Amino acid sequence: MLLKRPVFLSILIVVVIAAIYLVKVSYFSTAQPLVDTTIKVTPYANTVVSEPQRAPLRVQRIHYVIQEGDSLSLIFDKFSLPQATLSKLLAADVSDLKLDNLTPKARLELVVDATDQHLIQLIYHHSLAERAVYVLNKEGEFDYEYVEEAGEWHSQMYAGEITGSFSVAAINHGLTSRQIATISRVLSDKINFSRDLRKGDRFEVLVNEQYLGNRLTGKTEIQGIRFNLSNGPISAFLAEDGRFYDRDGNSLEQAFNRYPITKEYRRITSPFNPHRKHPVTGRVTPHNGTDFATPVGTPIYSTGDGQVVAIKNHPYAGKYLVIEHNSVYTTRYLHLSKFLVRVGEKVKRGQKVALSGATGRLTGPHLHFEVLVRNRPVDAMKANLPLAQAISKDEKPAFSALVAMFDEKSLQYWKNTHDASGITHVS
């Protein structure tokens, strides 16, 4: 039986649609998933291009205790550090010269890049509370910083009886050789330490000592001295101006001179300036002293009584000497041609100690003169130096309070000694 034409067409259309549907289902069930390959581009203005990462430094930290006779050059040789680096360190140190006077038993800390053995940082622990820090900068030079912890200060009385020499008795009762030297110098016009002292004479020394936490830093300052001799007491007390006076405020030390040279050589070529641009290197480095135009061979005079504590020859400071006047004041004289004194020698105010020169790194012959107050440089031309012969009225109240404290601690010390030994000590 034949189908009618319209019915046949309808069936054919249905068959074709079904076939197309089956083909599509079969294709999509076997095809792999599509991957989004679109590239997302960040605008150029916001792009950050990272530099290749450098390998981390292999740091070696060396701790070294300074020995008697050590120099920085010997220490550098010990650890195979180049002398060229030492030269750069000394250039950074020329303003304070900390590295030129290494103290035995003090510590050096050296931070070294172990990959090529170059020095990154050096720390000189001068005491528990003081350190000089030298850090290598991007220009390959060293930046210098002096760090000092404030700590806390406490007064301690040291006292005893003399049975032989004062030095032996003082050391046996806890005083240091440096403190003994200060006492001998301060009272040199009042006591002949080899003839005037007798067995049974007593001494009392009030010392201000610095602590960090419960540890002594090693920094001290003598505040008061008294000797009870057979012919009466002799005393000395440190005023705020850095000089010693008797208990009535009369000076025991000669005044300071402001200039270390005579009038005809007092032309200043470079004043004290903590932010000066160095005339040779062009770098901004502190100028911690005053430069005077002095021809080679000009006499140089000590500005006050004191003791020569250092005579050195430095590649940048040249030949220089240091005079310690008391526990507060120190003077330095740089670029000399000849020394006329020796280390340990006691000098008087106005005594000729050297001849000026042109040694070290400089632009021409001159004297570089420094005054340090408690190890801090001050402007020698403007500082309030102890030039008067008697204590000022402004300082008298604090001075009187110090004398009273000394008397109180003295009484307490001998009372405690009597309680402990059963022996009465008569004042």
CATH code, residues 152-253+393-417: 3.10.450.350
pLDDT attached to residue 218: 87
Residue ranges of alpha helices (H) inside 295-352 are none
Indicate if the pLDDT at residue 422 is higher than 50. no
Indicate if the pLDDT at residue 285 is higher than 60. yes
Q: How many helices (H) and strands (E) does the chain have?
A: 6, 20
What are the domain boundaries of the chain?
59-148, 152-253+393-417, 263-378
Q: Is 195 exposed, middle or buried (0-12, 13-18, 19+ CB in 10 A)?
A: exposed
pLDDT attached to residue 284: 73
Written as one string, the DSSP assignment of 236-278 is EEE-TTS-EE-TTSBBSSPPPPS-SS-GGG--EEE--BTTPBP
- Residue 160 backbone dihedrals phi, psi, to 5 degrees: 180, 180
Segment 387-412 shows an average pLDDT of 88
Token readout for 235 is 């005393």
Bridge partners (DSSP) of residue 124 are: 108, 132
Fold for domain 59-148?
A: Nuclear Transport Factor 2; Chain: A, (3.10.450)
Q: Distance between CA atoms of 261 and 278, rounded to whole angstroms?
A: 24
Indicate if the pLDDT at residue 206 is higher than 90. yes
Fold for domain 263-378?
A: Glucose Permease (Domain IIA) (2.70.70)
pLDDT band (50, 70, 90) for residue 189: confident
Segment 234-246 shows an average pLDDT of 91
User: What's the pTM value of the predicted model, to 2 decimals?
Assistant: 0.69
pLDDT attached to residue 281: 65
pLDDT band (50, 70, 90) for residue 195: confident
pLDDT tens-digit series, residues 127-155: 899 999 999 999 999 999 999 998 999 99
Mean pLDDT, all residues of the chain: 85
Q: Distance between CA atoms of 324 and 306, rounded to whole angstroms?
A: 5
pLDDT exceeding 70 applies to what percent of the chain? 82
Q: Could you check whether 152-253+393-417 and 263-378 share the same CATH topology?
A: no
Indicate if the pLDDT at residue 425 is higher than 80. no
Q: How many CB atoms lie within 10 A of CB 381?
A: 15
Indicate if the pLDDT at residue 413 is higher than 70. yes
